[in-house]
Amino acid sequence: MFFKPLNLRLSIRTRFFILLLLLTILPFLAYRFAIDLHRLLLNNQAIVQKQTVENLALILQNRTDLWALQIQSGDPSRLSHLNLKNSVLWIVNEYGQTTYVVGNLPDSDAGLDEKDVFTAIGKTLIKTLATVIPYSLPYPYPQSQTPEINLIANALKGNTFQQYRMDENQQPISLMSATPLSFKNNIIGGLVLEEKMETLSSDTLDYFYRLIGIGAMIFLIVTIGAIVHTASLSNRIIRLDNDVKLTFNIQGKLKDHIFPDQFQQFYNDELSDLRHHIHEMLGQLGAYERYLKQLPRTLRHELHNPLNRLSMALHLLENDTQSKQLEYAQHAVAQLKQIIASLSEATSIEDSLTQQPPEIFAIGEMLQHYLENSLTLHPEYQLQFDNKISKQCKVLGDGFMIEQMLDKLLSNAKDFSDHRKPIRVQCTHDNQNVSIAVENSGPALPKGHEKRIFDGMTSIRDLNQDSQTHLGLGLYIVKLITDYHKGRVYAENLYADDQQHVEGVRFTVELPIVTQKTA
């Protein structure tokens, strides 16, 4: 089983917005990277704090005198990892009672360095993304609102232990580390270090937030610029497409509409070059079309008198000379007159369609009269018809032009009919269209010619049964008249019941019905 592929058409603007949608994954990747960086920093800082409190315990155990001098100077241990402006050091005895406290643990963020605007943007962006993708930071140790109880108990048991202090919103305030104090292998107390989260985060994370902020601003500026550029480019392409459409009428012919060469002078790129090239091409095409329109009139005017003189001279020669060559010459003159008449007919109909205003008329009654007259005037057609179009059915157009269209279709059906079956005309309608089908038995349409036969100067006749010259303008006129009525015409082969042998050809013309609302 084969599935027909979807014919999905996406405009340039739509494809660009899809690309932007795909690019929005970048902020989420940055967000995921920020979370991983949080985890790395928290782990590293926890390790550093653990080592700091263990070193302080060793100093206190082995060099009590050095520890006392540093306490008096207000700079205990002089370790770079210890910041007593945002941390507190506790010493507890063997009963778990606090005997000494040094340092400061402020309740607010006062005194912290203010961050620049890009750092604030980065933090805001991360928090905003956190509302879309909720997360909790991967704190490597347990959390509690009163972690000191558990910390001191573990330290007095001889264990180094760490825990986060949480606020009422379950957000971390600080990290606490506890380690035992020993003397001659006996635990005589513990050392507890509590440090603010701002210190733990350090400047590294702020640098990353700043990078996120700068990247977000750059991404926003580039995105806005790309949107403006793409919208402008898309609008220019749409204007170009509309200008090209306004240049042609419904029959696909050039109108008098002037295609603008430059829409806005400050554009100077490939699209403006394309507009200029289209302007030049349409100018050349218009000149060529005017030349082709004028050619039949010119030929008719210029060849009319010489052909008449030649025809008269051949007629005079016929009285003096009897020769087959003379008959050939007379036949050639007749063919030239027919060619000029056919060209003039196509041009005349095309001009009439351009100048003739359409009118609403009852097509069912018109077709009935026309087919009855054709049955009487053209017995060679062997015509059969079935007109099921009601008298109330109306179309917008020209009844005389539709009669000319049917003349061409019936003439074409007669030329290709093998006379095994009569030419059949079926006229039906539905709620939207009138359908006129002309069928004849005979040879099949060559593959690929179903649409080409409606082009001018296209004929698939192997020979001229009636010894006349055919320029392939009959079906071209049918197409012109159908387009004038905003309908469509198509050809198809008629197959036998076995769906393998072709019995004939059907030409179908569909014309839109004028509804009461439209009328």
| Average pLDDT of span 481-502 | 83
pLDDT at 110: 47
| Residue 458 pLDDT exceeds 80 | no
In 232-390, which ranges are E strands? 359-362, 383-387
Task: Provide the edge-to-edge strand list for the sheet that holds 423-429.
Answer: 383-387, 423-429, 433-441, 502-512, 488-495
| Residue 509 pLDDT exceeds 90 | yes
| More confident of the two residues 467 and 16 | 16
| Residue 113 pLDDT exceeds 70 | no
Least confident piece of the model among 106-110, 264-268, 324-328, 332-336 = 106-110
Residue 199: how many CB atoms within 10 A of its CB?
18
pLDDT at 112: 46
For the chain, the domains span 26-216, 248-355, 357-512
| Highest CATH level, class, for 26-216 | alpha beta
| More confident of the two residues 450 and 163 | 163
Q: What is the pLDDT of residues 74-83, one digit of tens each?
A: 555 455 556 6
- Could you give the 3-state DSSP secondary structure of residue 513? strand
Q: Quickly tell me which residue has 């109330």 as its tokens.
A: 392
| Residue 203 pLDDT exceeds 80 | no
pLDDT at 510: 93
pLDDT at 188: 86
pLDDT at 424: 92
Q: What is the pLDDT of residues 336-346, one digit of tens each?
A: 766 666 666 66
Q: What is the pLDDT of residues 307-353, one digit of tens each?
A: 667 777 766 666 666 666 666 676 676 767 666 666 666 666 666 66
Query: Which of the four pLDDT bands, split at 50, 70 and 90, describes residue 215?
Result: confident
| Residue 263 pLDDT exceeds 80 | no
Q: What is the pLDDT of residues 11-70, one digit of tens each?
A: 777 777 787 777 777 777 777 777 777 778 778 878 888 888 888 888 777 766 666 666
User: What count of Cα atoms within 13 Å lies in the side-chain half-sphere of residue 441?
Assistant: 11
Query: Which of the four pLDDT bands, split at 50, 70 and 90, describes residue 134?
Result: low
| More confident of the two residues 471 and 9 | 9
| Residue 436 pLDDT exceeds 90 | yes
| More confident of the two residues 23 and 148 | 148
Residue 450 DSSP code: T
CA distance 375 to 167: 102
CA distance 172 to 162: 13
pLDDT at 512: 92
The token duo for 84 is 């007593």
Least confident piece of the model among 36-50, 88-102, 138-152, 496-510 = 138-152
pLDDT at 6: 53
Q: How far apart, in Å, are the Cα atoms of 136 and each of 29, 171, 174?
A: 17, 9, 16
Domains 26-216 and 357-512 share a fold: no
| Residue 198 pLDDT exceeds 50 | yes
CATH code for residues 357-512: 3.30.565.10
pLDDT at 2: 47
pLDDT at 427: 93
pLDDT at 133: 67
CA distance 377 to 147: 113
| Average pLDDT of span 100-123 | 70
List helix spans (H) across 169-269. Answer: 197-247
Query: pTM of this prediction?
Result: 0.47
Residue 336 and residue 355 in contact, taking contact as beta carbons nearer than 8 Å: no
Please name the amino acid found at residue 237: I
